[in-house]
Amino acid sequence: MVLIKANTVVRAPVSSLVDCSIDFEARASWDKTLYDFKTFSMSADRTVGRVSYTFKSPVAGFADRDFYLQQLIRWDYPTPGAVTMHVSSLEPSDELPINP
């Protein structure tokens, strides 16, 4: 298990930063290591969903890496104006309830 907590200050609207990371069509225009993106289910507001994608291996001789993930986004948490994103790996058989 790997846990990562990150905190940074970026002078941009939070909504733009979130969109740059979860809008995979837009992301494909600047992130050349990402391909084969699929959305399996996503709430209308994009706060809860299941996605898969593949990253090109940065090391020659190693296979590309496939990810099947649950993403959860909570706006104005833990403080007003903040956003918390939680992404965790899923097994292909895992079910994630989506409440639109």
Separation of alpha carbons 41 and 71, rounded Å: 10
pLDDT tens across 8-67, in order?
788 888 788 888 878 877 888 888 888 888 888 889 888 899 988 888 888 888 899 888
- Ordered by start, the domain boundaries in the chain are 14-89
End-to-end C-alpha distance for the chain, whole angstroms: 30
pLDDT tens across 57-93, in order?
888 888 998 888 898 999 999 999 888 888 888 876 6
Q: How many CB atoms lie within 10 A of CB 46?
A: 14
pLDDT, position 94: 62
